[in-house]
Amino acid sequence: MKKNTRFVCQSCGASYAKWTGKCTNCDEWNTLVEQIVESETEAKSAIKKAEKSGKILDYKNIKAIEPSDVKERLKTDFDDLNTVLGGGILMGSVNLLAGQPGIGKSTILMQICATVSKTKNVLYISGEESAGQVKMRAKRLGAESDKLNFASSTSANDIAKTIETGEFDLVIIDSIQTLAMDEISSAPGTVSQVTNCGNLIIRAAKSTDTAVIIVGHVTKEGTLAGPKVLEHLVDVVINFDGDRYGGFKTIRAVKNRFGSTNEVAIFEMNEKGLKEVKNPSAALLAERQNTDGSIILATLEGTRPILVEIQALVTPSNFGYPKRTASGFDLNRLQLLIAVIERRTKLKLDDKDIFINVVGGMKLQDSAADLAVCMAIASAAAERKLSEDYVVFGEVGLGGEIRSAFRADQRIAEAKKLGFKHAIAPATIKDSFVIPTKDLRETLIKYVNEK
């Protein structure tokens, strides 16, 4: 009998009867793969069997249950990373570390191994690199220790069996995309491989209270290559973001069953691996040259206040169509702000190319960056610089009004700490440090427009 097959999207898991180039559920291209599915009668008989085999659950009063986070947490050497994890790596937790190839996942994991293996048994499993390569990195990072072990494997069955021995407190798996389960015929990295390998490993980790960190590669667009599904299975998902070639890199939790998702750790890569950046504002402002088009924004990374420089370059367009480019800032937001500036102030930008750069490889996700971006554009267009004493923050509405920003106190405190004298910020904030602003046009005329 011909097996019933369906086309399953490897990105979101949606299934279709026919192959199409694009998944209509998640809009990804070329992600559908043919997979065998159980027939309806098979499924029905399975449900019938399941109905009979069920047992009544063993339930307890909520007061009698031990909270899971009283378990021990393995501390890394990075304080901010411990905070991102909710206080360290919880025993028995399964953590997914997601990031682009080359960002530094293997590096930071080896550094974590170095710390944890001082007191605990650690196993590093790689399906990507040879033992020799991993050894080179371990040596370079000073991670060699009696309790740090290495195995090379791509078999989820073998890895789960090894975890089940309970010999290790921490197991690193680099990476999920290389794993395969013997019982499944599809290629490594496909939804069914990733889901089933993930489940097998999670079971093994839970049954022996072993902490596990799984590496997952993400594509350029920032989604986990193939297996979005894995994010639902694991306890903690941490994202490693930033520039692959220099600049700051950030680690934040996008899901954490044992902690908050507001925190962020900031890193820099040097020849001794990754290093936490303790005072990012000072580092970001160190190379600043106060020219026109440069504005200091008081922003937030998670709950941490940071000062970053926003640079704008405004040049005449050579062709009819003006070009807009943004690095570290959302391009759609930039286009919207340009429209607001043109409509609400007298500044003419439709014959200008506009480039925005957020210094240090930071990626802003803060609506309070609006005012700083607008001021940078106006400053560059008018070739008039803003006094070095000012930081800026505030959201810009479509009417050109300046709207309030959350955590203003922290932004102000950071600006004071770094020696700024004033903040150009929403008028709703009551603080003598703030020069209250309500309207974009007035603000631009006062500070950065041509007089």
What string of DSSP letters covers 303-370? Answer: TEEEEEEEEEEEEE-SSSSPPEEEESS-HHHHHHHHHHHHHHSS---TTEEEEEEEGGG-----GGGH
Contact status: 126 vs Mg ion (CB under 5 A) = no
Contact status: 102 vs ligand TYD (CB under 6 A) = yes
Q: How far is CA 348 from CA 318, 377, 397, in A?
A: 16, 11, 19
Contact status: 242 vs ligand TYD (CB under 6 A) = no
Among 40, 182, 221, 271, binds ligand TYD (CB under 6 A): 271
User: Which H or E element spans position 172?
Assistant: strand 170-174
Sheet order of strands, 249-256 included: 148-152, 122-126, 170-174, 211-217, 94-99, 236-242, 249-256, 264-270, 273-276
The entry of ligand TYD, Mg ion, none near residue 271 (CB within 5 to 8 angstroms by kind) is: ligand TYD
Q: Which of residues 106-145 bind ligand TYD (CB under 6 A)?
A: 106-107, 137, 140-141
User: Which H or E element spans position 212?
Assistant: strand 211-217
Contact of 347 with 444, CB cutoff 8 Å: yes
Q: Among the candidate windows 70-78, 101-109, 323-331, 371-379, which touches ligand TYD by CB under 6 A?
A: 101-109
The entry of ligand TYD, Mg ion, none near residue 273 (CB within 5 to 8 angstroms by kind) is: ligand TYD
3-state secondary structure 231-298: HHHCCEEEEEEECCCCCCEEEEEEEECCCCCCCEEEEEEECCEEEECCCHHHHHHCCCCCCCCEEEEE
Contact status: 272 vs ligand TYD (CB under 6 A) = yes
The entry of ligand TYD, Mg ion, none near residue 95 (CB within 5 to 8 angstroms by kind) is: none
The entry of ligand TYD, Mg ion, none near residue 99 (CB within 5 to 8 angstroms by kind) is: ligand TYD
The entry of Mg ion, ligand TYD, none near residue 272 (CB within 5 to 8 angstroms by kind) is: ligand TYD
Contact status: 100 vs Mg ion (CB under 5 A) = no
Contact status: 249 vs ligand TYD (CB under 6 A) = no
**Token pair of 256 as six digits:** 């954490």
Among 189, 226, 273, 394, binds ligand TYD (CB under 6 A): 273
Contact status: 105 vs ligand TYD (CB under 6 A) = yes
Question: Residue 174 Cβ, how far from ligand TYD at the closest point, in Å?
Answer: 7
3-class secondary structure, 436: strand
Q: Among the candidate windows 103-111, 301-309, 392-400, 441-449, which touches ligand TYD by CB under 6 A?
A: 103-111
Q: What is the largest CA-CA distance in the chain?
A: 83
Contact of 169 with 210, CB cutoff 8 Å: yes
3-state secondary structure 16-62: ECCCCCECCCCCCECCEEEEECCCHHHHHHHHHHHHHHCCCCCCCCH
3-state secondary structure 101-139: CCCCHHHHHHHHHHHHCCCCCEEEEECCCCHHHHHHHHH
Question: Residue 274 Cβ, how far from Mg ion at the closest point, in Å?
Answer: 13
Contact of 309 with 146, CB cutoff 8 Å: no
Contact status: 111 vs Mg ion (CB under 5 A) = no
The entry of Mg ion, ligand TYD, none near residue 396 (CB within 5 to 8 angstroms by kind) is: none
The entry of ligand TYD, Mg ion, none near residue 178 (CB within 5 to 8 angstroms by kind) is: none
Phi, psi for residue 341 in degrees, rounded to 5: -60, -45
What is the pattern of x (binds ligand TYD, CB under 6 A) and - over residues 162-201? ----------------------------------------
The entry of ligand TYD, Mg ion, none near residue 161 (CB within 5 to 8 angstroms by kind) is: none
The entry of Mg ion, ligand TYD, none near residue 101 (CB within 5 to 8 angstroms by kind) is: ligand TYD
Torsion angle of C-alpha atoms 349, 387, 416, 378, degrees rounded to 10: 0
Q: Which of residues 176 and 334 has its CB atom nearest to Mg ion in the complex?
A: 176
Question: Residue 275 Cβ, how far from ligand TYD at the closest point, in Å?
Answer: 10
Rounded Cα–Cα distance for residues 330 and 301 (Å): 16
Contact status: 106 vs Mg ion (CB under 5 A) = yes
**Token pair of 209 as six digits:** 């209270």
The entry of Mg ion, ligand TYD, none near residue 103 (CB within 5 to 8 angstroms by kind) is: ligand TYD
Rounded Cα–Cα distance for residues 53 and 43 (Å): 15
Q: Among the candidate windows 32-40, 271-279, 305-313, 326-334, which touches ligand TYD by CB under 6 A?
A: 271-279
Among 23, 84, 103, 134, binds ligand TYD (CB under 6 A): 103
Q: Among the candidate windows 43-51, 97-105, 220-228, 248-256, which touches ligand TYD by CB under 6 A?
A: 97-105
Contact status: 58 vs ligand TYD (CB under 6 A) = no
Phi, psi for residue 380 in degrees, rounded to 5: -70, -40
- Residue numbers at the binding site for ligand TYD (CB under 6 A): 99, 101-107, 137, 140-141, 269, 271-273
- Residue numbers at the binding site for Mg ion (CB under 5 A): 106
